[in-house]
Chains A and B, each alone.
Chain A
Amino acid sequence: MNQMTLIESMVKERAVDIRKQKDGENYVEVPDFRPGDTVNVAVRVVEGEKERIQNFKGIVIGRHGSGVSATFRVRKVSNGVGVERVFPLYSPMLQGIELVRKGDVRRAKLYYLRGMSERKIRQKLS
């Protein structure tokens, strides 16, 4: 099993290297964040030949998995419609994850936020 951990870390390093290569000086490390935190995820969007950055800002409502395959789920309300996206934590398609605000919650999965109004969510997270 020891060897597996080693391979996992090698694979992870390689994923980080791809991002370092893409971003050069602009490379930012994956921050330490928890469910309940508000994050701003910069996603690379490829349109034909061109590549641009799209931001997705919202509340982290869960983290899943471990190692390189880990993902996290971000929820935001856009034009009155709730939108959720799942991002692979080490995907080279992410340009960076910025921690905007720390939240204070006791649960690991915040699926109950889906049925709540924005005002209530704000009360809950602070």
Chain B
Amino acid sequence: MTGALLGKKLGMTSIYTDNGEQIPCTVIQAGPCPIVQMKTSGNDGYNSVQLGFENVPDRKVNKPLKGHFAKAGIEPVKYLKEFRDLEITLNIGEFLKVDQFQKGDKVRVTSTSKGKGFQGVVKRHHFGGVGMTTHGQSDRVRAPGSIGSSSYPSRVFKGLRMAGRMGGKPTTIRNLEIVDIIPEQNVLLLKGNVPGYKNTLLEIVKQ
């Protein structure tokens, strides 16, 4: 891994290319992320870099965390995330910024998807539904259908896809192209959409 950042979804817009193409973009506030801790295989059994994002006032941080931040010599931050096997040349206390990416790079974005509540199988698992609305039938259109056999096995198999809570889960979208970078604003423009609401925390990793 050669580049990673934490960020926040700001919203969506579109930009135009010179030949008139319109590209839908997600605007992301990415970084600056202080390096809070570096774990090594000698000390911790694996290599990783811990990044922080978004400053918070001192009073919002508890004592153990305060000590953690003081050790790195940085202002308290709201979010901490570890990235395994991240190759960087910077030291603890320094900042990772959007300049580690370039236009045209492909990235992977992980965040929590929008919660959809309790949903049926048609929306949740892309089932086709059971029946038609004609021939005297009207209430089976979005039904799940049979959930198994009868006396054998006399039970429903584990993991059978049914209705239930949908969304609000960690979701990753790969191969998102960086269309533009605005370093003064710490902003990335990615082609297409990313999971989650506005102001959701995003993990952006270079592929």
Q: Which residues of B contact A1 (CB under 8 A)?
A: 10-11
Of residues 31 to 58 in B, which have CB atoms within 8 Å of A's CB atoms?
Answer: none
Indicate whether A69 sits within 8 Å of B20 (C-beta atoms), given known contacts A3-B29, A6-B185: no
Chain A CB within 8 A of B15 CB: yes
Are the CB atoms of B185 and A69 closer together than 8 Å?
no
B22 near A7 with CB under 8 A, answer no
Q: Which residue of B lies closest to A69 (CB)?
A: B14
Q: Which residues of B contact A88 (CB under 8 A)?
A: 16, 22
Contact check, B187 vs A7: say whether CB atoms are below 8 A apart: yes
Q: Is B107 an interface residue (CB 8 A)?
A: no
Which residues of chain B from 43 to 100 have a CB within 8 Å of any chain A CB? none
From A3, A14, A92, give the contact of B10 (CB < 8 A).
Answer: A3
Partner of B15, one of A4, A6, A68: A68
B13 A91 Cβ-Cβ under 8 A = no
Q: Is there contact, CB below 8 Å, between B16 and A90? A: yes
Say if the beta carbon of B139 comes within 8 Å of chain A.
no
Measured between beta carbons, the chain B residues less than 8 angstroms from A8 are 13
List, in ascending order, chain B residues with CB within 8 A of A3's CB.
10, 29, 185, 187
Determine if B27 is an interface residue (Cβ-Cβ < 8 Å): yes
Chain A contacts for B18, CB-based, 8 A:
18, 92
Q: Chain B residues near A6: list those with CB within 8 A.
A: 185
Indicate if A116 sits at the interface (CB-CB under 8 A).
no
Q: Is B182 an interface residue (CB 8 A)?
A: yes
A-facing residues in B86-141 (Cβ within 8 Å): none
> In whole angstroms, what is the CA distance A46 to B20 when docked?
10
Bound-complex Cα distance A27 to B66 (A): 57
A11 at the interface (CB under 8 A from B): yes
How many Å from the CB of A59 to the closest CB on chain B?
24
Check A15/B15 contact, CB under 8 A, given A3-B10, A3-B29, A7-B185.
yes
B residues within 8 Å of A by Cβ? 10-11, 13-16, 18-20, 22, 25, 27, 29, 182, 185, 187
